[in-house]
Amino acid sequence: MISISRRTLLKGSAVVGAFGLGAGLAGPLGKAFAAPDPLLLDARFADAMLDGRNVTKGVMAYTSAGSQVEVSPHGYLPPTIRTQRGKPFAARLINRLDEPTTIHWHGIRLPNAMDGVPFLTQPYVYAGDSFDYAFSPPDAGTFWYHPHCNTLTQIGRGMSGMLIVEDPADPVFDGEVVLNLRDFRLGSDGQFIEQFKARDAAKTGTFGTVRTANWQIDPVEDVPAGGLVRVRIAATDVTRIYNLKLDGGEAVVVALDGQPVASPYPLDLTVVSPGQRLDLVMRAPDGEGQMVRLMDLRPSTPKVVATFRAVGTSLNRSLGDIKPLQPNPPFEADIKGATEIPLVLSATAEQASRDSICGTLGYSFWAINKVPWPGDSADPTAPLAELKLGRTYLLNLENLTPHAHPIHLHGTNFKVLASSKGPVAPLISDTYLVLPDEKVQLAVVADNPGDWVFHCHIIEHQKTGMTGYFRIT
């Protein structure tokens, strides 16, 4: 995504503001906001160049005719949506695909009916139909959006966009780069190949063949020389886990999964797994044309994720000049009075899963508490646990498998309390990468009523059984 100065960003925000104002603001008595005009999001097929050589047919995309989004300079990268903390946001999903879909707003604490999970929170949206989403995000940070129906195919073919919730009081940086990290499974002719292999779904998941950031192989992003640049990263891939490091420059981590960290620390092989976000502040090199590379060191051969190129005369900033991000609302849990919930992640005997309108992979390989469930289906599966509104719970997760699972909770955040793998930072998050044989304890405050799914974000694992849900009443 293009690097933009704060000034450009503010100009862009004025456009965003226009739709907030259009439908009327709160009156002097502070009455509820009227819903803003929705951002129009078309779910559609497109042809796009993803491997740099061939036109790939059957890409699945989000596009917007509205003016409230940054227009992507690259093919059919879904628009990066920007809104503000506490402000009403509305989007209309218009389904121009030939199959049902929905939108889930990953990491946003919102009303259950807006969560985008078929059967559990809303009917799936048929081809030709539309659905209106509206919520006011309580947390600022880096989030993303994607379908929760036929998810492996729909995300796999391109439906994952970034959602940025700004806090106007956040520090001003010299530039900002948004990186949406994704692989595509393409053959040598640039066309989609089978999205997964069963033998890989039963292990780490099936990897893509073309690595991209913002739907481009190793994009080069211009950044102001010597400036402090906020880099917002989301791993929206269906499988890949990244270990990120900067080559030729310095960066600190300022937020994880949308939540500011207590104090910034150097980016050094920081792990970002499917569903997770990482906000960095990078100091750009001083010399015009100098390059810094964001690298993934997880594979045996390190891979370039994206390149930053310094432009202009040096602004001579220092990483020590970074001011803290505005905090999100505090996480207030009653740990002492909490009820413990055991959650065992395991493999399960292979069996065919039932057909579903939101797609089936035809296998069950994984289970939570011994129950394999692919989710997004009408099966009358019982909740993993029923939680009382307002109470605190401790999720005692145990991974009996030899694979890592990025477990994602909808509807509310958790706080990481303890791990069998060693000391943990008291992170507040919605996605935690549970390592092989790890036991981890997460605190959850049941502060949002509804049925909320809890699943592995390696989508093959999710869709072959590693899915459940909590009922908060």
Positions in the binding site for Cu ion (CB under 5 A)? 405, 456, 458, 461
- Kindly tell me which of 428 and 466 has the beta carbon lying closer to Cu ion: 466
Residue 271 CB contacts under 8 Å (≥ 6 apart), including other chains: 241, 242, 243, 244, 433
- Kindly tell me which of 43 and 466 has the beta carbon lying closer to Cu ion: 466
Tell me how far, at minimum, the Cβ of 453 lies from Cu ion, in Å. 14
What DSSP string describes 248-262? SSEEEEEEETTEEEE
> Are β-strands 175-184 and 141-146 bridged in parallel, bridged antiparallel, or unpaired?
unpaired
- Kindly tell me which of 80 and 467 has the beta carbon lying closer to Cu ion: 467
Distance CA 405, CA 240 (A): 11
> Edge-to-edge strands of the sheet including 428-429?
364-368, 339-351, 392-399, 439-445, 414-419, 428-429
Tell me how far, at minimum, the Cβ of 225 lies from Cu ion, in Å. 42
Tell me how far, at minimum, the Cβ of 449 lies from Cu ion, in Å. 27
By the 10 Å C-beta count (0-12 exposed, 13-18 middle, 19+ buried), 160 is classed as buried
- Kindly tell me which of 245 and 461 has the beta carbon lying closer to Cu ion: 461
- Kindly tell me which of 15 and 435 has the beta carbon lying closer to Cu ion: 435
Tell me how far, at minimum, the Cβ of 351 lies from Cu ion, in Å. 18
- Kindly tell me which of 43 and 404 has the beta carbon lying closer to Cu ion: 404
> Are β-strands 89-95 and 39-49 bridged in parallel, bridged antiparallel, or unpaired?
parallel
Tell me how far, at minimum, the Cβ of 406 lies from Cu ion, in Å. 7
Strands (DSSP E) found in 191-338 = 210-213, 220-224, 228-235, 242-247, 250-256, 259-266, 270-272, 277-283, 291-296, 303-311
Residues 106, 408 contacting (CB under 8 angstroms): yes
- Kindly tell me which of 164 and 241 has the beta carbon lying closer to Cu ion: 241
Structure-token pair, residue 414? 């958790």
